[in-house]
Amino acid sequence: MHFAAAIVPSGMTELLASPAAARLGWVCIHSLWQAAAVAAALAVALRLIPRQSAGTLAARYRLAATALAALPVAAVVTFFLVPVARPAGAPLPARADTAASTPATPTAASTAAATTPRFVLLPAAPLGAPQPTRPDHLDRLAAWLPLVALAWTVGAALAAIRMACGVWITRRLVARATSDSSRQLQHRVDHWRRIMRIEAAVRILASAAVETPVVVGWLKPVILWPAAATPS
């Protein structure tokens, strides 16, 4: 955390030292192998389903959508299940026999002890038993978890801003498009829409800002057709 304190503003150092930042860092680390496992399972499943009919294509689409939805679910589960070590410098838990010998009369010391966080002691291992040790490489990796969480947060924010700008640009394209497209082209789109069993109405709009056909929207899809290529 000394390196993080040197490059991160002082107001964020406490936030990066929180257990949530460590959990988010572990989520980023575990997402590497989780995404690889989901991608491998999806590749095997898609090879078992041939591309022969509309039914198999729909099954392949559902598998791909399920694999895509499994990634955020795995991230949320990992966030709540990953263990976070006790921060260095935290007070040690009190022993049970020491607590039993404390007088019942409240004093300044007992009042201060009552306001401090209490920890639950796990049963100690018997003498001579091998003590659990943590690999050194995990300790070195844990020191970088706050910076990993910070890098992921910055990247996610930039991706969200880029997506918002894309939505704003496409909405402006749709707003500036005109409905002067060919009726014959609209009839063809409606014909293929019925064959593909697409219930949503698909509009054809002519746009001088695009050079190739562009599909915009999902609930209310719109096809932006190049104005120069609109059939007469």
Give the β-pairing of 222-226 and 203-207: parallel
Give CA–CA dist 223/217, Å, rounded: 9
Which of the four pLDDT bands, split at 50, 70 and 90, describes residue 136?
low
Task: Look up tokens 């680390």; give the residue.
Answer: 29
Summarize pLDDT for 67-124 with one digit per residue, the tens.
999 999 999 999 998 876 544 444 444 444 444 444 445 555 445 444 444 434 344 4
**What is the amino acid identity at position 44?**
V
Give CA–CA dist 177/175, Å, rounded: 6
pTM of the predicted structure, to 2 decimals: 0.56
Q: State the angle between helix axes of 136-143 and 145-176 in degrees (0 to 180), rounded to the nearest 10.
A: 50
Sign of torsion, CA 103 106 107 111? positive
Whether the Cβ atoms of residue 215 and residue 202 lie closer than 8 Å to each other: no
Burial 196-218 (b: 16+ CB within 10 A, else e): eeeeeebbbbbbeebeeebebee
**pLDDT above 70 as % of the chain:** 66
- The helix/strand/coil state of 132 is coil
Residue 229 vs residue 119, higher pLDDT: 229
pLDDT value of position 11:
57
Task: Look up tokens 């498009």; give the residue.
Answer: 177
Which residues, 6+ apart, have CB-to-CB distance to 28 below 8 Å? 148, 149, 152
